[in-house]
Amino acid sequence: MKDIISLQKKMIEKNKIEKKAKTKNLSELELKEKIIRILRKDIQGDATIYSGLTKIKGVSWSLSNAVCKKLKINKNKKIGLFDESEIKKIEEFLKNPEIPTFLKNRQKDFETGENKHLTESDLDLRKDFDIKRLKKIKSYKGIRHSVGLPVRGQRTKSNFRRNRKKGSGIRKKKNKNETKT
């Protein structure tokens, strides 16, 4: 008798949990329509947090994994299911990540010597300033940038051609007899 009562209680608790889960979870269509904004980037609500964070410029797969591990977030959770407080926590972590230096994208900054991690427009600005600095001091890399040639030692005999026209292939020579008629 006691076993039956305990089984009924377990079933009732299980049903309550299932009802809460159904009300919390949105349908697939609602998730797809829901768009979450993280660090000035719109991300579809049906994407997982692991893949969705990589849509932000400056966030790699390894950094996305580190965010999930540090904040103890399930990687497979959909972004549309996060509430405002969790999104703010993710944004704060991405602005000042407490991760090993090898995961940061700006190690030993030229001006300050610090290890930083930049995202979005900050990353673009830093890259542009670095290229302008290289051009200004007329280093080899700066000259290659200004001329529009590859910087990292690639071969240029067949690639990096400008103003290429459509290849005509090998043409047949015309016979003298055919040209007279």
Please, what sign has the CA dihedral across residues 141, 146, 151, 157? negative
The model's pLDDT over 106-161, given as tens digits with 9 standing for 90+, comes to 888 888 888 888 888 888 999 999 999 999 999 999 999 998 889 988 888 888 87
> Same domain for 93 and 41?
yes
At position 66, the amino acid (one-letter code) is A
Is 169 among the domain residues?
no
pLDDT at 54 over 60: yes
Is 2 among the domain residues?
no
The CA-to-CA distance between both ends of the chain, in Å, stands at 110
The number of domains in the chain is: 2
> Same domain for 38 and 62?
yes
pLDDT at 18 over 80: no
> Same domain for 34 and 98?
yes
Residue 43: closest CA among 90, 106, 104: 90
pLDDT at 77 over 80: yes
Is 55 among the domain residues?
yes
Q: Is residue 26 very low, low, confident or very high in pLDDT (cuts 50, 70, 90)?
A: low
Is 128 among the domain residues?
yes
Is 19 among the domain residues?
no
> Same domain for 64 and 123?
no
Torsion, CA 137, CA 140, CA 143, CA 145, rounded to 10: -110
**CATH for 45:** 1.10.8.50
Is 177 among the domain residues?
no
> Same domain for 78 and 94?
yes
* Encoded tokens for 36: 């979450």
Torsion, CA 63, CA 85, CA 52, CA 91, rounded to 10: -40
- Over the chain, what is the mean pLDDT? 82
Q: Which of 40, 68, 102 is the last residue of a domain?
A: 102
> Same domain for 59 and 86?
yes
> Same domain for 55 and 98?
yes
> Same domain for 33 and 93?
yes
> Same domain for 40 and 96?
yes
Per-residue confidence (pLDDT) for residue 165, from 0 to 100: 64
Q: Which of 102, 119, 138 is the last residue of a domain?
A: 102
Is 77 among the domain residues?
yes
> Same domain for 82 and 114?
no
Is 154 among the domain residues?
no
Cα(26)–Cα(19) distance, integer angstroms: 13
User: Where do the H-state alpha helices sit in the chain?
Assistant: 2-24, 28-33, 49-52, 61-70, 84-95, 120-136, 140-147, 176-180
* Encoded tokens for 99: 């991760």
Domain that holds residue 132: 104-147
**Cα–Cα distance list, 125 to 14, 36, 75, 157 (Å):** 53, 25, 31, 32
> Same domain for 109 and 132?
yes
Cα(160)–Cα(156) distance, integer angstroms: 6
